[in-house]
Structure 1
Amino acid sequence: MSVQWYPGHMNKARREIEEVMTQVDIVIEVLDARIPDSSQNPMLNTLRGEVPVLRLLNKKDLADKTRLNLWLDHWRGSETVLAHPFSTQDKADVNKVSQWVAQMVPHRGTAEKPIRAMIAGIPNVGKSSLMNALLGRRVAKVGNEPAVTKAQQKLKVTNGFQLLDTPGILWPKIENPDASYRLAVTGAVRDTAIDYEDVALVGLKFFMADYLDALVTRYKLKTVDADAYEVLKVIGSKRGALRSGGKVDMHKAAEVFLSDVRTGAIGPYVMETPEMIAREEILVEEAKALKEAKRLAKLAAAVPQRQQQQNREYRHDQSQPQQTDKQDDNQ
């Protein structure tokens, strides 16, 4: 799946992050608990260097706790990473943020030396909701569409704690196509940038493989066909996604299914595990190496026509016998 999602304001956001990173003490990265790895921005990891990061796995109520714990175990022990399940709707979680930040930056936190925290995250993970919850008032626009926040804001939580918001940024190219689909399934990509049916089928295959019981219960399926397309057709017929004549409207069926996935109507889930991501990273690197090898081979084979002609002319000249000018003795 090819997604164009690097508009000008996201490019500008990258430059802004580079400029202010040296001024912050900690990064608060809001992640989607359903896709803990795919919702990370590798560009942010590069830009932050050794700056510690507090990873808030937001929408914890929509996530499978067993799988989420695999990610908490994966990050546990890191000196620069602290991760917690989180919900902006849970006041207890919101109240703990200051405590978690202070734990990561013990040398600051006074009025003279407040902790300067940058809130970051890809679009539609809950950054604005977190800011509003921390400040106890509506200061950031909240929406269910990606890329709502487009301007940088500096806000005071307490005398010893400041927030620096950054626009939601996505990296120019996602090298792992599976991650692209996971982002699309959970709603990080604008729906106008994707093919609904295509994304729904990917999501449906995932639920059929990993959360079949929840799928069967949600749609009261008596049998489950091995073909995800046929299953989506059944879901569409059960949920009224029909055209005249009783034919299933597959686009509408896809909308129904993806809406259920994103709202948690099917049940809690996590689409990836550390072990799975490790395997995918190996495949991505192998694909990159193969692509580079093909590129170099193509360059080597694509000798410019002019150079080829010059080579032919040179070989022709070298094959001709040497001739000397004869002088006319009669002149």
Structure 2
Amino acid sequence: MSIQWFPGHMAKARRLLTDQLRWVDVVVELADARIPTSSRNPLLHEILGKKPKLLLLNKADLAEPDWTVKWLEKLRSISPAYALSAVTGKGVKQIVPALESMVQQKQAKLAEKGVRPQMIKVMIVGIPNIGKSSLINQLTGGAQVKVGNKPGVTRGNQWVRIHDRVELLDTPGMLWPKFEDPEIGRKLAVLGAIKDEVFDLEELALWMIDWFRLHSPQSLSRYQNSDSDITLETIGIKRGCLIRGGRVDTLKAAQIFLRELRTGQLGPITMDIFG
């Protein structure tokens, strides 16, 4: 099964991103530390070309630390990469020094020509619900200092000063038109990057329960009743999802299970694994 869909606003976002790219020095790509490859839009590689890129694995507080270390080691062979949490702020202070380092050579060449140091212009990209707004709030201390009319800005977009030498252009979250691997689509849906309406939530929750059984059975321990098998029915009973006749509302149980997973209540998880 291949999942095909591409909302019109995402097609528009791709066109805007391509047009605005020429105005920036560095692209910051935000990915999910729990799915460091599945949460990266493959179209961005094509669109960004050789533009310098800083990869940030957000939500590292929800991912398995050992796996995050392994992923950073692997990813840094291609481009600079750091882990952080835009919610707690951990790791955010690494960003500006990393950006300054990435443009140092370019600005040194300009200085040789007598050009004064310029503002570092950065574009932030990523899939929906990846935490771009939370990261911007962390970088600005919640007080977003918007910069006046500047090239590259279209209606709804603004340059925001995140540091005395760095200006950032936010972009809408963008997915890609077809998931060749249905497992990638499921991972994105499980972690909330795709709207819940696109998937059958009960089917999605059952797939995730099976994934946990195979890769991380301890994550299901909070739902365990003695040695009984964990199902949406047993989760529903545990969470009080009962309806008339004593039956279990399995849809509500699936919604609770996915919410608890997404917010880290089942413990840290990393779903993209290798080796």
TM-score w.r.t. length of structure 1: 0.73
Deviations 1:106-160 (A, max 9, x none): 23579742211110000001001111211222549xxxxxxxxx93221222342
Is 1:85 aligned to residue 83 of structure 2?
yes
Q: Please say if residues 144 and 161 of structure 2, whose CA atoms lie closer than 8 Å, have aligned partners that are also in contact.
A: no
In structure 1, list runs of 5 or more residues that go unmatched: 141-149, 276-331
Q: Please say if residues 132 and 138 of structure 1, whose CA atoms lie closer than 8 Å, have aligned partners that are also in contact.
A: yes
Describe the shift of the 1:7–1:24 C-alpha distance in structure 2 as closer, same or farther (beyond 3 A). same
Q: CA deviation at 1:224?
A: 4.7
Aligned match of 2:67: 67
Aligned match of 1:279: none
Q: CA deviation at 1:31?
A: 0.9
Which of 164, 171, 179 lines up with 1:174 in the alignment?
179
Work out the CA distance in 2 between the residues paired with 1:69 and 1:17.
30
Q: How does 1:294-309 map to 2 (within 5 A)?
A: none
In structure 2, list runs of 5 or more residues that go unmatched: 146-154
Aligned match of 2:6: 6
Aligned match of 2:24: 24
Higher relative contact order (CA 8 A, sep 6+): 2
Q: CA deviation at 1:215?
A: 1.0
Describe the shift of the 1:236–1:76 C-alpha distance in structure 2 as closer, same or farther (beyond 3 A). same
| SS of residue in 1 equivalent to 2:35 | coil
Aligned match of 1:246: 246
Describe the shift of the 1:13–1:64 C-alpha distance in structure 2 as closer, same or farther (beyond 3 A). same
Deviations 1:172-194 (A, max 9, x none): 11111000000000011111222
Describe the shift of the 1:92–1:261 C-alpha distance in structure 2 as closer, same or farther (beyond 3 A). closer
Please give the root-mean-square deviation of Cα atoms over the aligned residues, in Å: 2.2
Percent identity, aligned pairs only, is 42
Q: Radius of gyration: which is bigger?
A: 1
Q: CA deviation at 1:238?
A: 1.1
| SS of residue in 2 equivalent to 1:245 | helix
TM-score w.r.t. length of structure 2: 0.87
Work out the CA distance in 2 between the residues paired with 1:91 and 1:193.
31
Work out the CA distance in 2 between the residues paired with 1:39 and 1:238.
32
Which of 183, 187, 192 lines up with 2:188 in the alignment?
183
| SS of residue in 2 equivalent to 1:107 | helix
Q: CA deviation at 1:220?
A: 3.4
| SS of residue in 2 equivalent to 1:35 | coil
Which structure shows the bigger proportion of residues in helix conformation? 1
Which of 193, 197, 201 lines up with 1:196 in the alignment?
201
The letter of the residue matching 2:30 is V
Describe the shift of the 1:234–1:10 C-alpha distance in structure 2 as closer, same or farther (beyond 3 A). same
239-248 or 89-98: bigger deviation: 89-98
Count the aligned residue pairs. Answer: 259
121-130 or 242-251: bigger deviation: 242-251
Is 1:103 aligned to residue 101 of structure 2?
yes
The letter of the residue matching 2:71 is W
